[in-house]
Amino acid sequence: MTPTPTATLVARDWAEIQERMLVPLYEAVYDRLEVGPGDRLLDLDCGAGLPLLLAAGRGAVATGVEADPARRALARERLLEVLAAPPEPPAPPRPYDALLAFSPAPAALDAALPAVRRGGAVVLADWGPAERCTVPSVLGGGPAPRDLDALVERAGLRPDGSGRVFCPFGYADVDSAVRGLLSTGLYDAADAADGTADPVLAEKELAEALHPFERSDGAVWLPNIFRYVIARVD
């Protein structure tokens, strides 16, 4: 499937503006797992591939899964290995040591678990407490954070720790903030609640909602806490 021009622009906004906002989360998880040379990682919803690049910088071999063709194309431009869907059973000749699933969909998680070795780590992450996350409130309430512990239990995994990471979303100006936030897809559901979507209206409403978070220099600052859990495959 060839990405549409609009989809390509949104994917580039994600790659150029938004994906770096989650670097503190990626780095905290990699530190916790002690990711290093020889480790094999599988990352669900890897976007344009930044988490794969960070893992490769530590010497790991990382493979991504990204359903969106435009983001997948950008990741492949970075010479990364990115699949359109989780690898199908049987498991690869050498199973993965860790599976990263930030904001995981249960079906995708189920499909990817067979590729992880016994004892391997599974990391799930999502928004933290609502009162500690600015972005969902700016977006009109936003999606409720997933119950990560329930996902671990549902998947038959063994809990092995958790943590919280401060991930502020900082932008040079309101225009950059609007482009970055719209690239997340979080605002789509709010705008399309009546079954329609008006991109111009969405941009206008989001820009207005961001004004209280503008600083004197025009920058926009949105503090957030993300939570992650680590589980093991028995």
Burial grade of 36 (CB within 10 A; 0-12, 13-18, 19 or more): exposed
- The pLDDT score that the predictor gives to residue 143 is 63
pLDDT(93) > 80: no
Residue 24: burial class (beta carbons within 10 Å; 0-12, 13-18, 19+): middle
Please compute the mean of the pLDDT values over residues 98-123 and round it to a whole number.
92
pLDDT at 230 over 50: yes
pLDDT band at 193 (very low <50, low <70, confident <90, very high): very low
Greater confidence, 201 or 178? 178
What's the burial of 219, exposed, middle or buried (CB within 10 Å: 0-12/13-18/19+)?
middle
> Is the Cβ–Cβ distance between 20 and 47 less than 8 Å?
no
Residues 73-86, mean pLDDT to the nearest whole number: 94
Single-letter amino acid code for the residue at 125: A
pLDDT at 142: 61
Contact 123, 55 (CB under 8 A): no
Residue-wise pLDDT tens digits, 154-177: 999 999 999 999 999 999 999 999
Say what percent of the chain tops pLDDT 70. Answer: 91
pLDDT > 60? residue 195: no
88 has pLDDT over 90? no
- Which pLDDT tens digit goes with each residue over 179-190? 999 998 887 655
Angle at 150 between CA 145 and CA 152, to 5 degrees: 110
Q: What's the confidence (pLDDT) of residue 199?
A: 72
Say what the pLDDT of residue 155 is: 94
pLDDT (0 to 100) of residue 90 = 63
pLDDT of 32 strictly over 80 = yes
Going 29 to 166 to 77 to 86, the CA torsion angle's sign is positive
pLDDT at 141: 56
Q: If you average pLDDT over residues 53-64, what whole number do you get? A: 97
